[in-house]
Amino acid sequence: MGVLPFHPDSCADFLTSDELHRIQLHRLQTVVRASYEHVPLTRQRMQERGVKPEHIRSLADIAALPFMQKTDLRDTYPYGLFARPMSDIVRLHASSGTTGKPIIVGYTRDDLNVWTSVMARTFSAVGLNQHDVIQNAFGYSLFTGGLGAHYGAEALGATVIPISGGNTERQIMVMQDFGVTAICSTPSYFLHLVEAVEASGRGFGNLNLKTGVFGAEPWTDSMRAHIQSRTGIKAYDIYGLTEIIGPGVATECEQQAGMHVFEDHFLMEIVDPKTGKTLADGEEGELVLTTLSKQAIPMIRFRTHDITSIITEPCACGRTIRRIRRITHRCDDMMIIRGVNVFPSQIEAALLEVEPTLPHYQIVLSRKEGLDQMEVRIEVTEAMFRDKVSALEQLQKRMEHAIEHVVGLRVNVRLVEPRSIARSEGKAKRVVDQRKEG
C-alpha cells in the first residue's frame, strides 16, 4: 500500500485563514459559554468584568476575558475547574504545582480523541508514517508525555514501543534489535543515550534510527546541531503542557524552522509578561493559550509563562497554521530538571520541614553525561557547624529525603560553611544554572 504524504487529520494544518478563523470563532464561543455555565471561577471573574459569553462576537473580543494561571488549578485542587461531571472523565493526568500538591487535569473521551489527533498530526509533520517503528521513551505515568505520544503514534499507524523513560541499556538494546526508526524523549535524555551508545563503543551508523521527536523541556539549536551531527538523525522540537492538553500543542515540520501551533484547537496570543497587554505578531512575550475544543477543563487565556514570538512569514512546507519560535526560557522560576518541573518554593518548603530556621540555600543545576543534576547547597549555622560530623551527615540525608519526597527527584544536598553562599543586594539568587548546551 502506498503512503499518503500526510495523516488525513493533517488537512487542518492547511486551512485557509478564513476557514480557520470561522472554526476558531465558533469553537471559542462554545468553550466560553461552557466555562461560564459550568466553571464557577470563570463565571465569577467574567461577572466581575461585566463580560458575558454573548459579548464574544469576534476573535479579537478574547482580550476582554480574564486570564487563567497555573495557580487557579492549585487553588481549586483537585477538580474545581472541571466543566464536566466525573462520569464524563475517562482519564486523569497530573503535573507539578508550585507547592507539594500536583495540579490535576482530566479528559473526556472527545478530549482524548483530539489529543490523539494532534499527536498524529505532530508525527506526520515530522515525516513519520505507518512504516515507522517508534520508541516512545517519554514517561508513561501521570506525566502526559508517554500516553500522549503513544496514542498519536498508534493513530498514525506506526509501530509503537511503549518503553517509557529510563533503563538506558535496555533502550539501546531495543533501538538496535527492534529496528527503531524514530524515538520520542526529552532532548537531555536522548543526549544521555547518545553518550551511552558511544561509551559502549557502538555507533549510530548501523542503526535504523532517523528521526528524534524531542520536547518537554527547553533546548537549543546548537544542541540540535550537536545531536544531529553525532547521530545522523533529524531532531525535531515539539511543545505542549499539561494544562492545555499535554504534548501536541505545537510541532516543527520537516523545515525545522519554528513550531506550527495547532490553531484549530489552541488559540494563541503573545502578551507582555508584566502588563498582560497583547503584543503584535512577531514581538517576543509570554505565550497565552486558549483551548478551543477541550471539554473537561476548558482553559481560557492560560498564562503559560513560556517566552516566544509568532513567526509571521508563511512556512515553506505549505502549512497555514502559524509557527512560534523555539521556547528558550520561562518568565517564572519553574525549573525543568530531567523533564520534571520543579519550583524553588517546593525545595524551600521541604528544607523548612526538616530545619525550621534554615538560613541560606542555593540550588545549583549542572549537566553530567547529558543528564541534569541538581545540588542544593545549604549553609549550616555556627552551632550546627560545631556539631559532630555524624549529626551533619544525618541532617544532610534527611534533607535529601525530604526533597526527593516532594519533587520526586533524587538530589544531592551539600552542607556548606556559614556565610559561604554569596549574598545579593536585592533578591537572593536561589538558582544557579550551569547546564551547558549539548
Task: Considering the complex, state which of residue 253 and residue 374 has its C-beta at the smaller distance from Zn ion.
Answer: 253
User: Cα–Cα distance between 148 and 115 in angstroms, integer?
Assistant: 7
- Quick check: 24 and 263 in contact, CB under 8 A? yes
Q: Which is nearer to Zn ion, 250 or 380 (CB)?
A: 250
Which residue number, 197 or 337, has a Cβ lying nearer to ligand AMP? 337
Cell 464557577, residue?
40
Backbone angles phi, psi at 134, to 5 degrees: -105, 120
Q: How far is the CB of 236 from ligand AMP (least distance, A)?
A: 9
In the bound state with ligand AMP, the residue whose beta carbon lies nearer, of 311 and 415, is 311
Residue 239 site contact among Zn ion, ligand AMP, none (CB < 5 to 8 Å, cut-off depends on kind): ligand AMP
- CA–CA distance, 90 with 201 (Å, rounded to integer): 46
Q: Given the C-alpha cell 500538591, which residue does it identify?
A: 101
Strands laid side by side in the 371-379 sheet:
412-416, 371-379, 361-368, 431-433
SS3 state of residue 162: coil
Nearest residue (CB) to ligand AMP, 263 versus 286: 286
Which of the choices ligand AMP, Zn ion, none does residue 237 contact, using the CB cut-off of 5 to 8 A by kind?
ligand AMP
> CA distances (Å), 98 to each of 10, 103, 141, 350, 426, in order?
36, 9, 20, 12, 22
Task: Give the three cell numbers for residue 356.
Answer: 525550621
| Smallest separation, CB 412 to ligand AMP (Å) | 23
User: Which residues 6+ apart lie within 8 Å of 128 measured at CB?
Assistant: 134, 153, 156, 158, 181, 182, 211, 213
Contacting range for Zn ion; rule: CB under 5 A; set: 127-135, 314-322, 360-368, 378-386: 314-322
Measured from the CB atom, is 14 or 204 closer to Zn ion?
A: 14
**370: nearest Cα among 196, 170, 231:** 196
- What would the grid cell of residue 60 be? 479579537
From the centroid of its chain, how far is CA 406? 19
Residue 319 partner contact from Zn ion, ligand AMP, none using kind-dependent CB cut-offs of 5 to 8 Å:
Zn ion
**Owner of C-alpha cell 461560564:** 36
Among candidates 146, 117, 107, 54, which has minimal Cα distance to 294?
107
> Which of the choices Zn ion, ligand AMP, none does residue 374 contact, using the CB cut-off of 5 to 8 A by kind?
none
> Considering only 198-206, 246-254, 275-283, 339-347, which stretch makes contact with Zn ion by CB under 5 A?
246-254
Rg of the chain, C-alpha, whole Å: 23
302/244 Cα distance (integer angstroms)? 8
**Quick one: which segment of 2-10, 60-68, 78-86, 255-263 binds Zn ion (CB under 5 A)?**
255-263
Based on the shown chain and the rule CB under 5 A, indicate whether residue 234 belongs to the binding site for Zn ion: no
Span from 217-225, 237-245, 317-325, 377-385 in contact with Zn ion (CB under 5 A): 317-325
Residue whose C-beta lies closest to ligand AMP: 242
Q: Which of 126, 129, 122, 162 minimizes the C-alpha distance to 146? A: 162
Q: Does 261 bind Zn ion (CB under 5 A)?
A: no
Q: Which is nearer to ligand AMP, 334 or 415 (CB)?
A: 334
Give the nearest distance from C-beta 335 to ligand AMP in angstroms. 10
- 3-state SS class at 267: strand
For ligand AMP, the closer of residues 217 and 372 by Cβ is 217
* Of positions 234, 319, 322, 338, contacts Zn ion by CB under 5 A: 319
The entry of ligand AMP, Zn ion, none near residue 255 (CB within 5 to 8 angstroms by kind) is Zn ion
Nearer to ligand AMP, 333 or 400 (CB): 333
CB of 416 to ligand AMP, least distance (A): 30
255 binds Zn ion (CB under 5 A): yes
Residue 95 Cβ, how far from ligand AMP at the closest point, in Å? 4
Q: Where are the beta strands (DSSP E) in 309-347?
A: 310-311, 323-324, 329-330, 335-337, 340-342
Residue 317 binding partner per list Zn ion, ligand AMP, none, with a CB distance cut-off of 5 to 8 Å that depends on partner kind: Zn ion
Tell me the closest approach of the beta carbon of residue 273 to ligand AMP, in angstroms.
13
How many residues are recorded in the chain? 438
Strand, coil or helix: what is 70?
helix
Contact set with ligand AMP (CB under 6 A): 95, 144, 215-218, 237-242, 304, 306, 327, 330, 336, 341
Binding site partner of 253, from Zn ion, ligand AMP, none, Cβ cut-off 5-8 A by kind: Zn ion
128 vs 407, which CB is nearer to Zn ion? Answer: 128
Task: Return the closest-CA partner of residue 370 out of 237, 186, 210, 201.
Answer: 186
Considering CB under 5 A, how many residues would be counted as binding Zn ion?
A: 5
411 binds, among Zn ion, ligand AMP, none (CB under 5 to 8 A by kind): none
Residues that bind Zn ion in the complex, under the rule CB under 5 A: 253, 255, 315, 317, 319
